[in-house]
A and B are shown apart, each in its own frame.
Chain A
Amino acid sequence: MSKPATETLSVVVERDIPHPPEKIWRALTQPHLIEEWLMKNDFKAVVDHRFNLRADWGAVDCQVLAVEPHKTLSYTWGAYGLQSVVTWTLTATSTGTHLRMEQSGFRPDQQQFYQGAKDGWQRFFGNLEQTLVRLD
């Protein structure tokens, strides 16, 4: 088996975007802009700040871990007992920015977990799918 298990336990999405890092940083950190592409929120780019991302299918509990303006933003992502970490990395390129998102860490919150993670996950995915369908 050549594939490390860690690969299946994290999600990476990356893209070259024809806009400068400063502008993308604003979209990643200003609450009214975050709402336009991700979810309603009370985000602040301050380490340790706790915030929620809210959608009609539920809420995600988050806490800011790292802020390096125009370069790195990292926060915890807790939903239905699954605790992960979302890290954004912005790298300036000749045509704009290479934007990378990694969701990793996979630390199920034990307590919430034992309390019916199955139902929670099924609901989470069901709603997520509905949301994705609406986006198409």
Chain B
Amino acid sequence: MPSAPDVLFRTLADPTRRAIFERLCREGEQTVGALTARAGVSQPAVSKHLGVLRQAGLVRNRHEGRQTHYSAQPGALAPLIDWTSHMVGFWQSRFDRLEDLLKRMDQ
């Protein structure tokens, strides 16, 4: 079984899927129809992307009458947040070294 980061990376590698997820994060819960109206792809395509996002734990669905509402589950991004905090630490240490170097350099 693939690990959580593998699934997340693979899921968010697709730009259309990532855009759908980002919109749900920004704008809150939406129906498939509302998402399709601005996704630039067909409703079946949007539904398929939502299915992949749901399997990765990135979105949750809720049925209300004939409509299905989707909402983002940003907590599932934790492995990526770990990545960014690693990189922040990496670059901050490099900034320190850059500043040390600048002090030693001639004008």
Contact = CB atoms under 8 A, between A and B. Distances in A.
Interface of A: 1, 3-6, 8-11, 13, 15, 17, 19-20, 23-24, 26-27, 33, 36-38, 81-82, 99, 101, 103, 106-108, 110, 113-114, 117-118, 121, 125, 128-129, 132, 135
Contacts of A6: 22
A11 B84 contact: yes
A118 B6 contact: yes
Contacts of B25: 1, 3-5
Contact of B101 (A8, A33, A113): A33
21 contacts: A3-B25, A5-B21, A6-B22, A11-B84, A11-B88, A13-B91, A13-B95, A17-B98, A17-B99, A23-B107, A27-B101, A33-B101, A38-B97, A99-B95, A101-B95, A103-B91, A106-B12, A107-B13, A117-B9, A132-B93, A135-B96
A4 B22 CA distance: 6
Q: Give the interface residue-count category, chain B.
A: 35 or more
Contacts of A19: 102
Contacts of A108: 9-10, 12-13
Contacts of B21: 5
A8 B84 contact: yes
- A1, A4, A10 — which one has the most chain B CB atoms within 10 A of its CB? A1
Interface stretch (B44-52, B62-70, B73-81): B73-81
A4 B5 contact: no
B72 interface: yes
9 closest pairs, A vs B, by CB? A37-B97, A13-B91, A37-B98, A11-B87, A5-B22, A5-B25, A108-B13, A19-B102, A118-B3
